[in-house]
């Protein structure tokens, strides 16, 4: 290729106009093509043949299809007619080729939920998403309120309403200001990332496991959420950890974190343990951050009643360090409220 031809090719690529952003017709949030629901407002989306790419739409869901299809790849209905192809095609007009169906080996485009040739339900690897929906196990992002595939709550908060109601009530009674935290049900281990202190992930196995809904221990789930809220509260007020009073009470929270995830913790327990003299529970002695999270959990679950807590500390012969930890937390919560 000559220098002039190469330069024309480069300039032609630069002049390419980017694809227009797709937005929800109701809330104008950015969406992707072939999503079933808007992840922001939950509106049902319909992808018609607006650009006249195929000249055909499903008679049931009104989504774009090909004349060669025998089944609608979006609703799974039988749409076979005389124009349908008798053999599975790799890439009909208006569609892309991503992979083949395992049954009929026909061409599929992401994210077709049914094979357009044999009607078999399809499964995709949603690698471009951050997590999985607790209802349909398909890909969702942490910012989504509604699952773009099944239309259910993408955060999973609808499954733990009773525990969240208790947590909110306890925080209000304890006079702790809301710091716009966001609770999500996700697969894996419960925790909070220091890079995203307001996002609290709760292991969904506590709710969506093999146990029935009436067998869920809401007290345990409430304690778990309060413990993770303690981590979120600490990360959100990280400058507080540099003060001398905080360091004398809880220690250096920046030390290397080497706590095993398999460590058993009784989050359902509301009484202070008698085994550790300077900690409220055995798990609190594993790391200063866990010490603060457990202190926060007991403080909120007991509604910030220091007189009741200190009486229990005296009966169980707790050290002065435990009294100081609750006083430090209590005074800081009052300072956030603007109290003297």
Answer whether 142's CB lies under 8 Å from 199's CB.
yes
Beta strands in 115-216 (DSSP E): 131-132, 139-140, 182-186, 191-193, 196-203
Q: Give the three-state DSSP class for 71.
A: strand
CA atoms lying within 13 Å on the CB side of residue 211? 10
Phi, psi of 52 (to 5 degrees): 55, 50
Find tokens 């609770």 and name the residue. 183
The C-alpha atoms of residue 115 and residue 85 are separated, in whole angstroms, by: 13
Residue 108 token pair: 């599929």
Instruction: State the helix-helix crossing angle for 320-336 and 288-301, rounded to 10 degrees.
Output: 70
Give pTM, 2 decimals: 0.85
**pLDDT in the model for residue 21:** 75
pLDDT average per 10 residues of sequence, the chain (340 residues): 59 52 92 96 95 94 96 96 93 94 95 96 93 94 96 94 95 94 91 92 82 71 95 96 95 82 70 86 91 95 92 90 95 81
**pLDDT in the model for residue 270:** 76
C-beta neighbour count of 274 within 10 angstroms: 10
**pLDDT in the model for residue 90:** 94
**pLDDT in the model for residue 16:** 46
Nearest to 160 by CA among 210, 129, 201: 201
Burial bucket for residue 201 (CB in 10 Å: 0-12, 13-18, 19+): buried
CA distances (Å), origin 7, targets 16, 18, 160: 15, 20, 60
The C-alpha atoms of residue 45 and residue 89 are separated, in whole angstroms, by: 27
Dihedral sign, Cα of residue 175, residue 176, residue 180, residue 181: negative
Find tokens 């012969």 and name the residue. 317
């Amino acid at each position: 290729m000559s220098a002039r031809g190469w330069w024309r090719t480069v300039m032609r690529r630069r002049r390419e106009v980017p694809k227009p952003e797709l937005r929800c017709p109701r809330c104008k949030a950015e969406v992707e093509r072939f999503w079933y629901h808007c992840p922001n407002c939950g509106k049902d989306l319909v992808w018609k043949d607006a650009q006249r790419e195929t000249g055909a739409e499903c008679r049931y869901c009104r989504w774009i299809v090909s004349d060669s299809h025998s089944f609608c790849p979006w609703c799974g209905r039988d749409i076979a007619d005389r124009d349908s192809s008798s053999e599975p095609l790799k890439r009909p007009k208006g569609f892309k080729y991503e992979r083949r169906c395992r049954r009929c080996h026909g061409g599929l485009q992401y994210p077709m939920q049914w094979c357009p040739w044999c009607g078999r339900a399809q499964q995709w690897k949603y690698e471009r998403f951050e997590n999985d929906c607790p209802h349909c196990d398909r890909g969702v992002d942490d910012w989504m309120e509604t699952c773009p595939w099944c239309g259910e709550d993408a955060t999973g908060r609808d499954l733990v309403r009773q525990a969240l109601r208790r947590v909110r009530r306890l925080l209000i009674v304890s006079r702790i200001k809301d710091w716009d935290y966001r609770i999500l049900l996700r697969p894996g281990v419960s925790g909070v990332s220091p890079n995203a202190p307001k996002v609290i992930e709760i292991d969904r196995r506590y709710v969506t496991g093999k146990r029935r809904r009436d067998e869920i221990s809401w007290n345990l789930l409430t304690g778990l959420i309060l413990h993770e809220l303690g981590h979120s509260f600490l990360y959100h007020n990280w400058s507080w950890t540099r003060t001398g009073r905080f360091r004398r009470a809880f220690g250096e929270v920046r030390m290397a974190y080497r706590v095993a995830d398999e460590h058993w913790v009784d989050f359902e327990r509301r009484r202070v343990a008698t085994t550790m003299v300077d900690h409220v529970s055995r798990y609190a002695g594993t790391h200063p951050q866990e010490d603060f999270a457990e202190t926060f959990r007991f403080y909120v679950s007991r509604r910030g009643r220091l007189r009741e807590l200190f009486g229990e500390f005296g009966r169980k012969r707790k050290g002065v360090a435990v009294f100081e930890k609750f006083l430090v937390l209590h005074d800081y919560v009052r300072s956030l409220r603007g109290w003297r």
